[in-house]
Structure 1
Amino acid sequence: MMKAIDLFCGCGGMSLGLRRAGLEVIAGMDIEPNYMATFAHNFGNEKAFKNSIATLCAKEFMSVLNLCKGELDILVGGPPCQGFSKNVPRKHRHLEDPKNQLVRNFLDYVEAFMPRFVVMENVAEMKNGFENSYSDEVMRRLSKYGYSVEHGVLNAADFGVPQRRRRAFFVASRDTLNVRLPQPSHKKATGSDQSNLFGELVDHVNIKQAIYDLPRLEHGQGIENASYRSDPISSYQQKMRGECNLVKNHIARELKPLQFERISSLKPGQGLKDLPAHLKTKGGYSGAYGRLTWDMIAPTITRWVFHPGSGRWGHPEDLRLLTIREVARVQSFSDDYTFIGSYNQQAGQLGNAVPPLLMESVVNTLVYDLYDDNISSRSSSDILLSGSGNLKETA
């Protein structure tokens, strides 16, 4: 089995995608303790490392994991890069900005580990923005290390995730010149036939297909280990449920009286502009206090999904916000994946996560579709040993 390490692992979105693609995640690293609590619960405490790559040298980490240069199969991560914010003047946006040091640290880890494959993801604006300085610098360094590299922006909805979420991906390989990103498997429901190299595309997964089988709730209600509302009504629900018989993390946040009054005044599909005069706010996002409809694709989940004034998080049928489990479904986390921490902490974990289904598609294309012959011919000596995972928090 191929081995993977997930830097900036968060609650484990990329790692879950790796695992669903058939790889073994031998380590995940992040500095956020509540994120790491969820990662450790789902992947094992021995694989969870609460460290920063800014202070932990790559060679020390390799030693702890009993790895030598070139042995790791795949290194993945989504390094934050605040210096590329659109709020920073264009002339000051560049990879050398100290705020982007984690991007450089990630590339340093690539140079130290020299894995067969690399996946790096970030916000969509990073690919073409700032005179391509971000993309050019990442491509230059990966090419310098001997990798073939491809990059582009992918919309999670095009890969079976019930959410419009655009992310930039850089994929790299030391094995072949034909590295590529995955082709979409899903399309907008237009009534016209569309296809890729592998056949006709299916329609995007909508909210009803994603969450309808989860129990109905009133705001402030819910219990752990609840029963499903119904049998699965879609292949997506069946995929998310797997062998689960009970629903976890499905408790509706209790809203403040004014928040509940605003949500209650709106019909599915309505939002901020539709609030009655006496309930209007002084400003806000266009989707604020908005309610979803069953046939919608969800907007991009953010870490503020716990707050009704931050986006369209209202349930299409019940007068409440989406629960953590419903948000997890929209992010394509399977129902056996448990989230640890307070409601707000769990919301933050999900808002910052990479959708596992999207990551699975990226990995399947990068590692398997083009390398079946390589993988099937690997000898037992190529299979890496799992790391001990016993590195503890460093000062």
Structure 2
Amino acid sequence: MPSDPHEQPRPDRVDMVDLFAGPGGLDVAARWLGLSVHGFEWDRNACATRSAAGLNYRPHDVRDFGPDTAPNAWILAGGPPCQTFTVAGSGAGRKALDEVVSYVVRMGHGEDVSADLETLKDERTGLVLEPLRWALAANRRREPYRVIVLEQVPAVLPIWQEMGAILEKIGYRVRCGVLRTEQFGVPQTRRRAILIASLEGERELPVPTHRPYRKGVERTAGDSDLLPWETMGAALNRGYDFHVISNYGTGGDPKLRGRRHSREPSATITGKVSRNKIVDGTGLDTPRFSLPEAGRLQTFPLDYPWSGNDIAQQIGNAIPPVLALHVLSAALGKQVSHEDARKVVDRPWIDTRDFPPLDHFARTGQLFV
């Protein structure tokens, strides 16, 4: 592909390389922390949003690159495509889970499994191994990434755990687990399998700032040291109460539609978010979620410049930036307050160029001077 004269040249060095960068979930969090990022993303629609947001946007396939051909960086991050592993997807990845785990083991022994990946039913399944390929290649060239952060749907946790065992053998301190987004101030229930690895000392997964959501349980119930979970109503500020009636049926029954009140977190935002019906307190239809509103429920800034086609899918595929903010911070040995997280979400996106450099955050643990 010829180079795009409108995009800035690829830098020689950045703080973070983001594999499968999408429209910018991890990039947004990194920008909030004052980190420079180079993202690899092949989808042209996501690249259109990246362009509008001031992120690098030339389409790339991570399989064509590695540490030798990417900008030098000290953080490796990524969220491989989840469609074959998620419950709502094809299921090809979940069916091949044991096979993929065996490939991880072989890669740890120095084997090239690229030919085996071609036999997988869906090629997207094998992309989950790309971060390990990059990490091992960087280690072989004696320029290892000092920090690694990976995220995926919960079904991928066994793969992260096996990768973690391999990373520990080459000197990393590793933590894996499943985090709930509403426990980090995201007005949405969503679960993500997280891996953080560091060469710079022991690290822990981020500590929740909010209580877990339970259907029928009051926000104020539970651990008094944690904040109540965030609500759709507060995030969107529509000015009236509403109910969201899900496009999906509960337990596989299409007649049993999930239902959430605006005083609750949203259900998981997916690429089908526009199909969810919204009614007011009297049962009358009200406007469905706009794309900016769907992005805000994912904790993107309300003015984030979504562009290209399939925007709902872009939004649904992204990691919520506030969750990414907490995870990246934990990987750096810091904890972000909910107050700072709210401030960055509520700021206009363009203002992120005014954020303090990372050394301020490293010294103080605060996002603001």
- Normalization by structure 2: what TM-score? 0.69
Compute the RMSD of aligned alpha carbons: 3.3
Distance of 1:204 and 1:272 partners within structure 2: 23
Q: 1:292, CA displacement in angstroms?
A: 4.3
Q: 1:286 aligns with which of 248, 256, 269?
A: 256
Q: 1:356 aligns with which of 307, 315, 321?
A: 321
Aligned to 1:116: 146
Could you give the per-residue CA deviations for residues 227-285 of structure 1, whole angstroms, max 9, x where no partner exists?
A: xxxxxxxxxxxxxxxxxxxxxxxxxxxxxxxxxxxxxxxx83666899xxxxxxx9627
Q: 1:126, CA displacement in angstroms?
A: 1.8
Aligned to 1:268: 243
Distance of 1:79 and 1:36 partners within structure 2: 16
Task: Tell me, yes or no, if structure 1 residue 171 matches structure 2 residue 146.
Answer: no
Aligned to 1:20: 32
Distance of 2:33 and 2:359 partners within structure 1: 14
Is the 1:28–1:49 Cα contact (8 Å) retained in structure 2? Answer: no
Q: 1:32 aligns with which of 30, 35, 43?
A: 43
Task: Tell me, yes or no, if structure 1 residue 322 matches structure 2 residue 299.
Answer: no
Q: 1:333, CA displacement in angstroms?
A: 0.4
1:191 to 1:103, Cα distance in 2 relative to 1, 3 A = closer
Structure 1 residues 320-329 or 185-194, which shifts more? 185-194
The alignment-based identity, stated in percent, is 29
Distance of 1:102 and 1:320 partners within structure 2: 38
1:323-342 to 2 correspondence within 5 Å?
323-342=290-309
Distance of 2:255 and 2:196 partners within structure 1: 34
Could you give the per-residue CA deviations for residues 55-86 of structure 1, whole angstroms, max 9, x where no partner exists?
A: 2243122xxx3x3xxxx231110113666566
Q: Structure 1 regions of 5+ residues with no counterpart?
A: 217-266, 275-281, 379-395
3-state SS, counterpart of residue 58 of structure 1: coil
Distance of 1:211 and 1:179 partners within structure 2: 34
Instruction: Name which structure has the greater RCO, CA cutoff 8 Å, separation 6+.
Output: 1
Q: 1:208, CA displacement in angstroms?
A: 0.9
Aligned to 2:57: 48
Distance of 2:293 and 2:230 partners within structure 1: 14
Point out the structure with max Rg over C-alpha: 1
Is the 1:272–1:286 Cα contact (8 Å) retained in structure 2? Answer: no
Aligned to 1:256: none
1:330 to 1:315, Cα distance in 2 relative to 1, 3 A = farther
Distance of 1:271 and 1:85 partners within structure 2: 18
1:177-196 to 2 correspondence within 5 Å?
178-187=202-211, 188=213, 189-192=218-221, 194=223
Distance of 1:12 and 1:170 partners within structure 2: 19
For 1:299, give the aligned amino acid: A
Is the 1:84–1:93 Cα contact (8 Å) retained in structure 2? Answer: no
Task: Tell me, yes or no, if structure 1 residue 6 matches structure 2 residue 18.
Answer: yes
3-state SS, counterpart of residue 195 of structure 2: strand
3-state SS, counterpart of residue 351 of structure 1: helix
1:71-82 to 2 correspondence within 5 Å?
72-80=73-81
Q: Structure 2 regions of 5+ residues with no counterpart?
A: 1-12, 104-115, 118-122, 139-143, 336-357, 363-369
Distance of 1:49 and 1:358 partners within structure 2: 26
For 1:115, give the aligned amino acid: Y
Task: Tell me, yes or no, if structure 1 residue 297 matches structure 2 residue 265.
Answer: yes
Distance of 1:90 and 1:284 partners within structure 2: 28
Q: 1:307 aligns with which of 258, 272, 275?
A: 275
Aligned to 2:162: 137
3-state SS, counterpart of residue 306 of structure 2: coil
Is the 2:85–2:153 Cα contact (8 Å) retained in structure 1? Answer: no
Aligned to 2:8: none
For 1:173, give the aligned amino acid: S
Is the 2:188–2:298 Cα contact (8 Å) retained in structure 1? Answer: yes
1:139 to 1:78, Cα distance in 2 relative to 1, 3 A = same
1:206 to 1:55, Cα distance in 2 relative to 1, 3 A = same
For 1:4, give the aligned amino acid: M
3-state SS, counterpart of residue 149 of structure 2: strand
Distance of 2:248 and 2:185 partners within structure 1: 31
1:165 to 1:49, Cα distance in 2 relative to 1, 3 A = same
1:213 to 1:2, Cα distance in 2 relative to 1, 3 A = farther
Could you give the per-residue CA deviations for residues 260-318 of structure 1, whole angstroms, max 9, x where no partner exists?
A: xxxxxxx83666899xxxxxxx962733xx6642212100011111234xxxx526575
For 1:144, give the aligned amino acid: K
- Normalization by structure 1: what TM-score? 0.65
Is the 2:279–2:286 Cα contact (8 Å) retained in structure 1? Answer: yes
Is the 1:291–1:315 Cα contact (8 Å) retained in structure 2? Answer: no
Q: 1:213, CA displacement in angstroms?
A: 4.6
Distance of 1:369 and 1:48 partners within structure 2: 30
Q: 1:141, CA displacement in angstroms?
A: 2.6
1:43 to 1:5, Cα distance in 2 relative to 1, 3 A = farther
3-state SS, counterpart of residue 59 of structure 1: coil
